[in-house]
Amino acid sequence: MPERQEGPAPSPDAHTTPAEPAQPDAEVKPVADEPAADVIEELEAAEESGEPVEVKAESASAGSDPSTAEEANLDADSGGSEPSGAAVSHPTEVEDTAVDPDEGRISFEDALSPRRGAISAGTPSPNESDTGRAVGTAKVISFANQKGGVAKTTSTLNLAVSFAEAGHRVLCIDLDPQGNLTMSQGIDPDKVEKSMYDVLVHHIPLTEVIQHREIDIAVASIDLAGAEIAMSTQIGRERSLEKAIRGVENDYDFVCIDTPPSLGLLTVNALTASDSVIVPVQCEYLSMRGLMQLNNTLEMIRENLNPRVRIEGILPTMLDSRTVHAKEAVELLEENFGDLVFKSRIRKAIKFAEAPVRGASVLKYDPKSNAADYYRELAKEVLTHGAT
C-alpha cells in the first residue's frame, strides 16, 4: 500500500502555475517610492489571472531605488535563465588602485605645520621692561626643547660663559636630572650634598646649592628625577623655582636654566620663572617637529602662569652645512618663523664633545676656536634684543 503523503492537496491549477522557487534571505532594502499607476494595474491583472508578470525597470517611478528595479527583472544579457526576483550583479568599471608608496607619509615641508604665525615671540605688557622685571634684576632665560640631544646643555653653558666674558654676572641652573650641565663644570652630581631637588622640594635657599666655577651654577643630582612626584601634592608647585630665584635675582644680570628633555613639571617651573626662552633646534626633521608642542606649552604658561614669557629666539644647532638636509632645515625654519630664528649658527665641532671632559666650556677649553666664536656671536645677538 503506498504511503500516505502528508500536507495539503495540490491546487487544481498547479500544473499551469509553476511553484515559485524558494529565495534566499535577501538584504532588507529601504522602501522605495510608491510604484506608478501602470505597474499597479499590471500586478492586479496578474493576481486575477494567476499568470506571472514581468515588471520592467522602465515602469518604476523616477524616484524609486534603481537597485529595487534591477532585482525585479532579469538581466537582459542573462538569456532569461535566472528566476524573477533574483538579484543580478552587474560588472562595474574597476579603477587602477595601485598604491603610491609615499601615500600618507608626511612631507618634510609639513614637519613645521601649522605655518608661520603659529609661533609668536610674545610681547611684554606696556608697563613692563623688556624682561617684565624691575630694572637691575636678573633676566631669566630658559633653554627648552622636549627633543633630547639638540645641544641645550652646550648652549646653556657656553652662552652663559659668553655673557660672563662680556662682563655680566651670570648664574646657571641645572634642572635636568641627568646633571650634564653640572658635570660640564667638573662637578660630580653623585657627590653633591644638596641640589636643586632640595630647593624645589624642601624649599631651601638657592644660594645653598650654588657652586662657583667659570660661572655660578646651581647643581643637579639624580634626585631630581623624583622631584615631580614629590612636588605633586604641593600648593603652587609650578612656581617653586620662581620663588627660589627671587632670593638671588638682584645678584645677577642673567640666570640661564637648562631644562630636561620633556614638558613636565620641571620644565613648567622653568618657563614660569623665565622672561624668555631660547629653543635650540638641531637641523633635522624630528627636532624641528617638536617646536609646535613646545609652543602649545608656552601658550598654556602665558594664559595661566606667566604672561610675560616670550621666545627669545630659535637657535639652529649641530649644523652640517655640507648636507642638503641641513640646508633645507634652516631654510624651512627661516621661511616659517622669520625673525624668530637667530642669525647665529652653531655648527658641528668636535670641541663641543671634548670640552666637557675637561670640565670646562668651549670658550675656556679652546678660546680661539670657531666653536667658541659661535657662542660669542650668539651672545652679541641676544644682548641686542635677541632674534627679534
pLDDT digits (tens, 9 = 90+) for 86-123: 444 454 444 455 545 455 444 544 544 433 345 555 55
Tens digits of residue pLDDT in 148-160 = 889 999 999 999 9
The rounded percent of the chain whose pLDDT value lies above 70 is: 63
d(CA 254, CA 382): 11
Average pLDDT, the chain: 77
Max Cα–Cα distance, the chain, nearest Å: 126
The grid coordinates listed for 168 are: 655680566
Task: Flag whether the pTM goes above 0.85.
Answer: no
Look up residue 318 and give its three cell numbers: 649641530
Q: Of 68-72, 160-164, 334-338, where does the model show the most confidence?
A: 160-164
Write down the pLDDT at residue 322.
84
Q: Which residues contact 29 (CB under 8 A, 6 or more apart)?
A: 65, 67, 68
The band of 137, judged by pLDDT with boundaries at 50, 70 and 90, is: confident
Q: Rg of the Cα trace of the chain? A: 38
Q: How far apart are CA 335 and CA 274, in angstroms?
A: 27
Distance between CA atoms of residues 247 and 253, nearest Å: 14
Class of domain 125-383: alpha beta
Cell of 269: 617651573
CB 189 within 8 A of CB 195: yes
Q: Of the given ranges (2-11, 178-187, 267-276), which has the lowest mean pLDDT? A: 2-11
Look at residue 16 and tell me whether its pLDDT is greater than 60. no
Q: Which three cell numbers stand for residue 337?
A: 618663523
Parse the chain into domains and list their residue ranges: 40-73, 125-383
pLDDT of 272-301, one tens digit each? 999 999 999 988 776 667 777 888 889 999
Mean pLDDT of 200-219: 97
The residues, ordered by sequence, that sit 6+ positions from 87 with a Cβ below 8 Å of its Cβ are 26, 70, 71
Interval 366-384: pLDDT, tens: 999 999 999 999 999 999 8
Share of the chain above pLDDT 90, in %: 52
Predicted confidence at residue 41, as pLDDT, reads 61
d(CA 182, CA 166): 22
**pLDDT for residue 350:** 95
Residues 205/247, Cβ–Cβ less than 8 Å: yes
